[in-house]
C-alpha cells in the first residue's frame, strides 16, 4: 500500500484528503477543481437537523462524521470471477447472466468485463475512475449535472470524496439485450463508501443495469454517501435497479436523479434491505414531451433499522406519464418515512401521474410515516396519490391458520402477497428470486 493510501486510511474528511484522492487517481484538472468546489460547499453547509422540513422525522445526531474514513487499501485486480474472495465470489455468481460486470471492493476496481459485441458497438462499461481518465470530455459533459454539487450537504460530500463508481455509456441505436451488473462490496472495517454511478443512454438505445451494494456487518460506524445520475435520450429505454444490502453498521445516504428526453422511458427499482440507516432521494425530471417513468420501491426492515425515502415525479413537459409504487414491511422496532411529491408544471398539460405508498406493520413497535404531496400548475391532467399504513389483518391470519398453516407461515404468506404487485413488475427472474429470499429471512421464514 502506498504512503498516500496509508495516510488516507487513517485520515478524515479534509481538504488534504480531497487533493490526495484526486492526484492518486491521476484525474484531469476539471475533476480536481470540481472536488475542491464540492468540499468548500460541504464545509459551508450546516448539517441537517430536526428543524429542517425534510429531516424533521429523520434523526442523524448519532452519525459521527469526524470518524469517517473516506478511502481503503488498494485491492489487486483479478482476471475472472473465480479469482475473487470466496464470499464476494458467491455473491457475484448469484443472479442473472449478464453482458457485462464491474466488481469493486471498497474503493478499488477489481474486475471489469463487457461482451465483445457490445464493446465493438461503442458501449462503455467500466469503473468511473477509468472513464474520467480515458473519456474525460464525455464524462465531464454529464458529471454532476443531474445532481449539482449544492443539491445538499451530502451531495457535496459525495462529490468531494467520491472513490469507486461505475460509468455506463450506450451509443445511439444500440440495444443491450442482457442486463449489465455492478457490484460494490464494502469489506474493510471502519471504511466508508463514496460510490457514484453515471448512466448515459443516447437516443434509441436500450439497456438494463443492476447496481448492487453489499457487505458484512462490523463494529462501529461506516458511511455510504452515493450518487446515481441517469440521462435517457430521445426514445431510449433504461431499466435501472439498485439493491442496497449494506452491513448493519452503515449509514446510507443516496441521491438518485434521472433526466428524461422526448419519448424516453425509464424503469427504476430501489430496494433497501441493509444498513443501520438509509435515506434516499429518488427523483425523475420528465423534461421531454411523451417521456414516461415507472418508479418502484421495496423495503423490509427489522431490529432498529430506519428507512427514509423522498421521491419526486417532476413533470416539465406535456403528455408525460409517471407511475410510482413503493411498498415496505416493518417488524421489531424498525421505522420508515416516505414523502413523495408529484409536481406538474404549467407546461405539463396532459400529465398522467400516479403515486402509491403502502406499508405493512408486523409488530406493535414498528412505525411508518407516509406523506404524499401534489403540486399542480397545469389544468388539463390526471394525478392521483394514495398511502396506507396498517398491521397484518388478523382475520387473514386466522383464515390461513384454519387451513393448516402455522402463525409464522401465515404471516409470511401475507407479506409475500403484499410485495407481489412490485415483484411481478420486475422482468429479471434472478433479481426476483434474490428479493424473495431476503424478504423471507427478514420476516422470520
- Those residues with Cβ within 8 angstroms of residue 386's Cβ, 6 or more apart along the chain or in another chain: 355, 356, 357, 372
pLDDT in tens, 304-338: 999 999 999 999 999 999 999 999 999 999 999 99
Four-residue CA torsion sign, 297, 345, 237, 31 = negative
pLDDT in tens, 381-393: 999 999 999 998 8
Pairing of strands 206-214, 237-245: parallel
Which H or E element spans position 367?
Answer: strand 367-376
Q: Are 277 and 419 in contact (CB under 8 A)?
A: no
Task: Give CA–CA dist 101/98, Å, rounded.
Answer: 7
Q: Are 154 and 54 in contact (CB under 8 A)?
A: no
Residues 180/181/182/185 CA torsion (nearest 10 deg): -170
pLDDT over 50 (residue 2): no
Model confidence, pTM? 0.94
pLDDT in tens, 51-109: 999 999 999 999 998 888 776 667 778 878 887 878 788 778 776 667 999 999 988 88
Q: In 3-state terms, what secondary structure has residue 172?
A: coil
Q: What per-residue confidence (pLDDT) applies to 384?
A: 95
Task: Give CA–CA dist 71/163, Å, rounded.
Answer: 7
Strand partners, 31: none
Q: What per-residue confidence (pLDDT) applies to 86?
A: 80
b/e per residue, 121-160, with b = 16+ CB within 10 A? eebbbbbbbebbeeebebbeebbbebbebbbbbbbbbbbb
Q: What per-residue confidence (pLDDT) applies to 95?
A: 65
Q: What per-residue confidence (pLDDT) applies to 170?
A: 98
pLDDT in tens, 232-275: 999 999 999 999 999 999 999 999 999 999 999 999 999 999 99
Sorted by where each begins, the domain ranges of the chain are 3-288
Amino acid at each position: 500500500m502506498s504512503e498516500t493510501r496509508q495516510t488516507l486510511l487513517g485520515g478524515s474528511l479534509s481538504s488534504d484528503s480531497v487533493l490526495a484522492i484526486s492526484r492518486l487517481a491521476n484525474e484531469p484538472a476539471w475533476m480536481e477543481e470540481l472536488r475542491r468546489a464540492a468540499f468548500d460547499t460541504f464545509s459551508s453547509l450546516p448539517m441537517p437537523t430536526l428543524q429542517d422540513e425534510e429531516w424533521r422525522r429523520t434523526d442523524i445526531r448519532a452519525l459521527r462524521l469526524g470518524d469517517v474514513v473516506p478511502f481503503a487499501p488498494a485491492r489487486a485486480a483479478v482476471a475472472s470471477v473465480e479469482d475473487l474472495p470466496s464470499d464476494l465470489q458467491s455473491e457475484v455468481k448469484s443472479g442473472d447472466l449478464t453482458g457485462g460486470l464491474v466488481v469493486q471492493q471498497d474503493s478499488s476496481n477489481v474486475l471489469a468485463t463487457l461482451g465483445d459485441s457490445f464493446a465493438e458497438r461503442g458501449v462503455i462499461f467500466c469503473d468511473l475512475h477509468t472513464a474520467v481518465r480515458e473519456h474525460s470530455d464525455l464524462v465531464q459533459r454529464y458529471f454532476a449535472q443531474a445532481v449539482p454539487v449544492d443539491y445538499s450537504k451530502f451531495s457535496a460530500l459525495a462529490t468531494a470524496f467520491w472513490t469507486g463508481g461505475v460509468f455506463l455509456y450506450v451509443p445511439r441505436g444500440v440495444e443491450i439485450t442482457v442486463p449489465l451488473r455492478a457490484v460494490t462490496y464494502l469489506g474493510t472495517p471502519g471504511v466508508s463508501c463514496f460510490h457514484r454511478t453515471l448512466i448515459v443512454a443516447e437516443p434509441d438505445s436500450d439497456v438494463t443495469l443492476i447496481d448492487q451494494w453489499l457487505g458484512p456487518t462490523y463494529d462501529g460506524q461506516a458511511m455510504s454517501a452515493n450518487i446515481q445520475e441517469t440521462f435517457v435520450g430521445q426514445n431510449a429505454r433504461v431499466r435501472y435497479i439498485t439493491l442496497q444490502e449494506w452491513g448493519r453498521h452503515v449509514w446510507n445516504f443516496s441521491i438518485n436523479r434521472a433526466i428524461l428526453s422526448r419519448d424516453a422511458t425509464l424503469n427504476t427499482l430501489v430496494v433497501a434491505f441493509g444498513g443501520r440507516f438509509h435515506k434516499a432521494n429518488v427523483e425523475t425530471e420528465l423534461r421531454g414531451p411523451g417521456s414516461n417513468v415507472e418508479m418502484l420501491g421495496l423495503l423490509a426492515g427489522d431490529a432498529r433499522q430506519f428507512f427514509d425515502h423522498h421521491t419526486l415525479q417532476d413533470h416539465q413537459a406535456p403528455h408525460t406519464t409517471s407511475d410510482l409504487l413503493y411498498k415496505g414491511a416493518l417488524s421489531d422496532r424498525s421505522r420508515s418515512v416516505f414523502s413523495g411529491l408529484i409536481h406538474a408544471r404549467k407546461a405539463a398539460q396532459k400529465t398522467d401521474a400516479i403515486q402509491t405508498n403502502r406499508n405493512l406493520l408486523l409488530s406493535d413497535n414498528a412505525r411508518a410515516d407516509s406523506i404524499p404531496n401534489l403540486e399542480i400548475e397545469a389544468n388539463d391532467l390526471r394525478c392521483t396519490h394514495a398511502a396506507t399504513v396498517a398491521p397484518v389483518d388478523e382475520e387473514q391470519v386466522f383464515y390461513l391458520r384454519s387451513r393448516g398453516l402455522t402463525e409464522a407461515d401465515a404471516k409470511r404468506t401475507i407479506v409475500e402477497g403484499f410485495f407481489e404487485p412490485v415483484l411481478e413488475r420486475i422482468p429479471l427472474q434472478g433479481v426476483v428470486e434474490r428479493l424473495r429470499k431476503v424478504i423471507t429471512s427478514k420476516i422470520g421464514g
